[in-house]
């Protein structure tokens, strides 16, 4: 266990956590506002990656891929919320089964459109390469992911904490009925949050395709991570999603490096421990 090992693994964990934050912050917000357990959230991540891939193939533009992936899945999210999930408010089991249904459909459609081969998005040359500093070697792309997550996190925090819409969203998270009662249009906020959550996940998917790749099965592989982040951090809490992402990213990385055979166990067991001590997660209130 050299210094290099610790520095590299810590950095890898941080950057993976940053990616998870992009995915899980949306899931957490969606849950916060709508109490929907969205099992199709991993599908947004995967489909975002695939859409980004197609855009890169056509245009060669990485930025365009990020935008297109996010926008495309925002539309998918809007359609799902408006046409289907809205009818099921309060029916936890119904929501679970319905979002699983969508996840299966998305999985099959992705297979139909993009086939079964794994692909990867090659980041622009600006983001390629490795920075060496002290004992560690840091791929530029992973630094980029951390920067993106910090920017997105800061923007979300500012929007939620400092703007009028943010205050309305927080009100809807705390008590949807009361918020509706004082004139906040909760259904509209729900729709917006759902679109935002899907877009963030898809954005994460395009970013993630740069080092995880994009392949069939990615949806159900990444979904549990998002769930663990949200459970550990507390449902509906943005700071919770931040802390949860970092914890999960680090736990996962060190788990895989130190105890490869038990790697998922080292991720989920601490989660169970946190829950045993604080059933609503670190920052959860509901």
Q: Contact residues for another protein (CB under 8 A)?
A: 31, 35, 37, 39, 84, 87-94, 96-98, 100-109, 111-112, 175-177, 220, 223-224, 227-228, 230-231, 235, 260-265, 267-269, 271-272, 275-276, 279-280
DSSP characters over 54-83: HHHHHH--HHHHHHHHHHHHHHHHHHHHHH
Of 139 and 234, CB closest to another protein: 234
Q: What are phi and psi of 212, to 5 degrees?
A: -90, -25
CB of 99 to another protein, least distance (A): 9
Asked if residue 201 lies in contact with residue 245, where contact means CB atoms within 8 angstroms, the answer is no
Minimal distance, residue 258 CB to another protein, in Å: 13
CB of 1 to another protein, least distance (A): 21
Nearer to another protein, 124 or 270 (CB): 270
C-alpha to C-alpha distance for 268 and 196, rounded to whole angstroms? 28
State in angstroms the smallest separation of the CB of 109 from another protein. 7
Number of H helices, E strands in the chain: 11, 2
Q: How far is CA 132 from the centre of its chain?
A: 29
Q: How far is the CB of 105 from another protein (least distance, A)?
A: 4
If the CB atoms of residues 155 and 275 are measured against another protein, the closer one turns out to be 275
CA distance 11 to 13: 5
In the bound complex, what is the minimum distance in angstroms from residue 166's beta carbon to another protein?
21
Extract the tokens encoding 73.
């899945």
Query: CA 149 from chain center: how many Å?
Result: 10
Q: Is the C-alpha dihedral spanning 16, 158, 163, 184 positive or negative?
A: positive
In terms of CB distance, is 134 or 260 closer to another protein? 260
Give the count of beta carbons closer than 10 Å to the beta carbon of residue 18.
26
If the CB atoms of residues 206 and 248 are measured against another protein, the closer one turns out to be 248
Crossing angle (nearest 10°) for helices 164-174 and 186-208: 100
- Check: CB of residue 7 under 8 Å from CB of residue 250: no
Q: Considering the complex, state which of residue 136 and residue 233 has its C-beta at the smaller distance from another protein.
A: 233
> Ramachandran region of residue 151, left (φ > 0), alpha (ψ -120 to 50) or beta?
alpha
Minimum gap (Å) between residue 202 Cβ and another protein? 19
Q: Which of 61/92 has CB closer to another protein?
A: 92
């Amino acid at each position: 266990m050299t210094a290099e090992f610790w520095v590299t693994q810590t950095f890898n964990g941080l950057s993976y956590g940053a990616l998870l934050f992009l995915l899980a912050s949306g899931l957490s917000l969606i849950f916060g506002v709508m109490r929907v357990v969205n099992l199709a959230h991993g599908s947004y991540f995967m489909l975002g990656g695939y859409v980004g891939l197609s855009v890169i193939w056509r245009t060669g533009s990485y930025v365009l891929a990020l935008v297109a992936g996010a926008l495309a899945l925002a539309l998918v999210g809007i359609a799902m919320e408006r046409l289907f999930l809205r009818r099921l408010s309060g029916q936890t089991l119904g929501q679970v089964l319905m979002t699983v249904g969508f996840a299966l459909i998305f999985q099959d459609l992705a297979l139909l459109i993009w086939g079964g081969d794994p692909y990867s998005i090659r980041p622009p040359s600006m983001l390629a390469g490795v920075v060496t500093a002290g004992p560690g070697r840091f791929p530029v792309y992973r630094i980029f992911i951390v920067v993106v997550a910090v920017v997105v996190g800061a923007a979300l925090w500012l929007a939620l904490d400092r703007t009028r819409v943010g205050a309305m969203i927080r009100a809807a998270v705390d008590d949807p009925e009361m918020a509706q009662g004082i004139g906040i249009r909760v259904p509209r906020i729900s729709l917006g949050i759902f679109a935002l959550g899907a877009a963030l996940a898809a954005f994460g998917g395009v970013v993630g395709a740069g080092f995880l790749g994009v392949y069939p099965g990615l949806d159900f592989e990444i979904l549990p991570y998002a769930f663990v982040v949200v459970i550990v951090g507390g449902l509906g809490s943005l700071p919770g999603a931040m802390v949860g992402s970092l914890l999960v990213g680090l736990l996962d990385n060190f788990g895989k490096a130190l105890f490869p055979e038990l790697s998922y166990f080292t991720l989920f067991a601490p989660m169970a421990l946190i829950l045993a001590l604080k059933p609503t997660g670190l920052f959860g209130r509901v």
